[in-house]
């Protein structure tokens, strides 16, 4: 039986890929703690943890009519960002995939009334929400498999949780020890172009609004307390601050871990930082004693039906 052995809410912000000299120039002589945070996470967790596969919940990969999971045997090449080619140009990546797990994830879509497709096309684009994290956390560990799941731009909160439930069921049915990485930001509004260069430093005062920074601070407090139920209960409020990808990366992760039943506490690596208006931070959630609760059961879930019988039917008239 497979298991999630740890999970991270991780910033992939392009600044981490710039040379240190440029990072310091942008940040009043100081380096970004998002870089040292990733380096510390690599040393303390990824170099010591027993795991087989990393599943990246990639907030930069937007699909439309379904969720998609990568199913290639291997992904390798040179990555140049279409968004920021000056900062991310011809960066090599090379890692094995996990097609068996990918197809198992896709097979669980119908169980949760959603749509998931596994794609093994070697020409499928890759995004820096995956490659940036691999460079810091996976490079040099050639036996570790990495796959990605994109966010669906037509999905709402419930759809993202359903993907997470399907993901959790697939992991449990597999023989894999899996790390989940929710790759993305908190609040996510950029400064307009003519103002942007005045707000490239990491300080919290450069977040787009004080209200957005305060909303991010609340969620970080709840991460650290393991109060995922409150994060979920206040999603409508948080949407006012435009979390990246409608917070799909987090919602998919927590859907796999048990939603509001999950009380795993978050350990922060580095500080909360601005990136041209957006809120960026790294959190790691260790596997609790006894494991994560796992996907919640709903009336449309076959396991729920097996355990509880079918949904109540209206009386015959």
Per DSSP, 144 falls in state -
Give 151-204 pLDDT, tens digit per residue: 999 999 999 999 999 999 999 999 999 999 999 999 999 999 999 999 999 999
DSSP string, 37-91: HHHHHIIIIITT---SEEEEEEEEEEESSSEEEE--SEEEEEE--SS-TTTS-SE
Give 205-254 pLDDT, tens digit per residue: 999 999 999 999 999 999 999 999 999 999 999 999 999 999 999 999 99
- Report whether pLDDT(307) > 80: no
- pLDDT of amino acid 312: 44
Q: Which domains does the chain have, with CATH numbers?
A: 3-291 (3.40.830.10)
When the pLDDT of each residue in the chain is averaged and rounded to a whole number, the result is 95
- pLDDT of amino acid 317: 31
What is the distance between the alpha carbons of residues 196 and 212, in angstroms, rounded to a whole number? 17
Please list the residues that pair with 180 across neighbouring strands: 7, 55
Residue with tokens 């996990």: 98
CB-based contact 132:32 (threshold 8 Å): no
What is the distance between the alpha carbons of residues 112 and 193, in angstroms, rounded to a whole number? 42
CB-based contact 30:103 (threshold 8 Å): no
Give residues with Cβ within 8 angstroms of 114, minimum separation 6: 67, 159, 162, 163, 166
């Amino acid at each position: 039986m497979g298991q999630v052995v740890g999970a991270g809410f991780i910033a992939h912000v392009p600044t981490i890929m710039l040379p240190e000299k440029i990072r310091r120039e942008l940040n009043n002589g100081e380096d970004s703690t998002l870089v040292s945070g990733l380096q510390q996470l690599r040393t303390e967790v990824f170099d010591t943890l027993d795991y087989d596969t990393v599943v990246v919940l990639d907030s930069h990969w937007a699909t439309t009519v379904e969720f998609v999971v990568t199913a290639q045997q291997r992904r390798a090449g040179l990555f140049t960002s279409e968004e920021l080619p000056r900062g991310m140009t011809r960066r090599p990546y090379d890692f094995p995939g996990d097609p068996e797990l990918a197809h198992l994830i896709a097979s669980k879509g119908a169980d949760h009334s959603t749509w998931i497709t596994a794609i093994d096309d070697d020409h499928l684009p890759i995004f820096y929400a995956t490659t940036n994290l691999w460079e810091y956390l996976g490079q040099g560990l050639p036996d570790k498999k990495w796959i990605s799941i994109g966010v669906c731009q037509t999905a709402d909160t419930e759809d993202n949780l359903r993907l997470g439930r399907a993901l959790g069921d697939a992991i449990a049915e597999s023989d894999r020890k899996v790390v989940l990485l929710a790759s993305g930001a908190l609040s996510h509004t950029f400064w307009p172009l003519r103002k942007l260069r005045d707000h490239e430093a990491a300080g919290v005062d450069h977040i787009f609004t004080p209200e957005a920074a305060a909303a991010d601070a609340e969620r970080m407090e709840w991460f650290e307390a393991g109060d995922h139920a409150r994060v979920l209960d206040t999603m409508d409020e948080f949407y006012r601050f435009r979390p990246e990808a409608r917070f799909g990366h987090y919602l998919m992760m927590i859907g796999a871990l048990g939603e509001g039943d999950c009380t795993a506490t978050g350990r922060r690596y580095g500080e909360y930082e601005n990136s041209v208006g957006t809120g960026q931070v790294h959190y790691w959630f260790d596997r609790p004693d006894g494991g994560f609760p796992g996907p919640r059961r709903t009336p449309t879930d076959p396991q729920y039906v097996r355990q509880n019988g079918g949904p109540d039917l209206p009386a015959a008239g």
